[in-house]
Amino acid sequence: MVFRKAWPVLLLLFSILFLNDCRSDEQPLLYQVTLQDWDGNSHKFSEDKGKLVVLDFWASWCEPCKKAVPVVEKLRGKLKDSPAIVLGVNTEDDLSLEEIRKAASEFGMLYPSLLDPKWELVTPLKIEGQPALFVFSKSGKKLHSQYGISEKDLPILTGRLKNWLESP
């Protein structure tokens, strides 16, 4: 008897919660973040709409990051003629820009890198280690994430590129 009286209220609550969760007018998390590049310019991810976005989160102290950079460079080469952008994201807050540039150079990083010393992207993405590779669709939806990137991952990542590029 109580259920019969309560079901309209429960249905209304469920509808409100469900509809709020499915709002399509809210920007994807990625598009809400702006980071600085090494020259002090703002990089608004919202300006990357329409591009596949590949992010390599790294730090100078991270030994596995040294092995990841050549793999990400090869991925970048395969994406050269496509609507894609590959960026590094350095997460350190205790190094000078010169020290970060030196580490990137020693790693062999040729792709541009952004700075996230306040973890403005790291925290909302809940990144728990480095290196971390995150791939976002042309509409900002997270398509892939993985921790640790090595040469053995390259065939799998390369195989996924076509699907990622076609993903809305």
Average pLDDT, the chain: 88
Amino acid at 123: T
Two tokens at 138? 């042309």
Asked if residue 27 is part of any domain, the answer here is no
Q: Domain of residue 100: give its range.
A: 52-166
* Matching residue, tokens 């799998």: 156
In tens, the pLDDT along 53-66 reads: 999 999 999 999 99
Kindly indicate the confidence band of residue 25, based on its pLDDT and cuts at 50, 70 and 90. Answer: low
Percent of the chain clearing pLDDT 70 (strictly above)? 85
Asked if residue 79 is part of any domain, the answer here is yes
In the prediction, which pLDDT does 27 show?
A: 86
In the prediction, which pLDDT does 5 show?
A: 59
Instruction: Please name the residues in contact with 103: beta carbons below 8 A apart, sequence gap of 6 or more.
Output: 60, 95
* Domains held by the chain: number: 1
For residue 143, give the CATH number of its domain: 3.40.30.10
Check pLDDT > 70 for residue 127. yes
In the prediction, which pLDDT does 14 show?
A: 46
* Matching residue, tokens 């398509």: 143
Q: How far, CA to CA in Å, does 138 sit from each of 51, 102, 119?
A: 5, 32, 23
CA-CA-CA-CA dihedral for 15, 125, 111, 97, to nearest 10: 140
